[in-house]
Amino acid sequence: MTVASTHNEAVNGSFLGNLLRFSVYKRNQGRVTRQATFAALALAIGVGVWRLAAVLPLWFASDVGGSSTDLGVVRFLVPGLLLAAGLWVSFRAVNMPRFADFLIAVEAEMAKVSWPTRSEVVRSSIVVIFMMFALAGILGLYDLFWWFVLRALQGSGG
C-alpha cells in the first residue's frame, strides 16, 4: 500500500464507509447530472424489482409441483427490501466522491456545448432521413440486380 493510496482512502473513505454515510458530497455542484443518473439507476432497479415481484410466485409454484402457492407478505417483502436497498445504493453511488466528481465534470462540459437551433436540427434530420431512404433504395436495387443475375445463372447452369 502506497502513501498516495492511503491518503486517498483516508480522504474518500472506503466503499462500505461511503455506503453508510448520510451526507451529500458537494451538494450544489452537478445537481442535474446526478439527479438524472439517480433517476436512470432507480428506473432500472424499479423495473428489475417489478419483474421479480411478477416472477417470484412462478418460481415457488414450479418448486412445489405447479400448484398455486400463496406467498403472502413474502411476495412483496423481498422485492420491497431489494428496492429499498437498490435505491439507497444508487443514492450513495451518485454521492461517492470519485463518481460525483465525474458527474460534476460531465455537467460542466455539457454547459460548454454549443447546441444547435431548432431549424438546424430539423434540416439535419431531414437530410439524415432522406439519405436513409436513398441508401435503402440503392441497396434494394443492388439486391434485385443480383437476384436476377443469380437466377439467370442458376437457370442456364441446371
Distance CA 14, CA 2 (A): 16
Element (H, E) at 13: none
Residue 119 confidence class, pLDDT cut points 50, 70, 90 = very high
DSSP summary character for residue 25: T
For residue 5, pLDDT over 90 is answered with: no
Decide if pLDDT at 88 tops 70. yes
Q: What's residue 70's pLDDT?
A: 65
> Under the phi-then-psi rule, with left for phi > 0, alpha for psi from -120 to 50, and beta for the rest, what region is 67?
beta
Whether 138 has a pLDDT exceeding 60, the answer reads yes
Look up residue 76 and give its three cell numbers: 412483496
Q: Whole-prediction pTM value?
A: 0.62
Residue 117 and residue 96: Cα distance in Å, rounded?
Answer: 36
Q: Which of 16, 37, 43, 18 is nearest to 106 (CA)?
A: 37
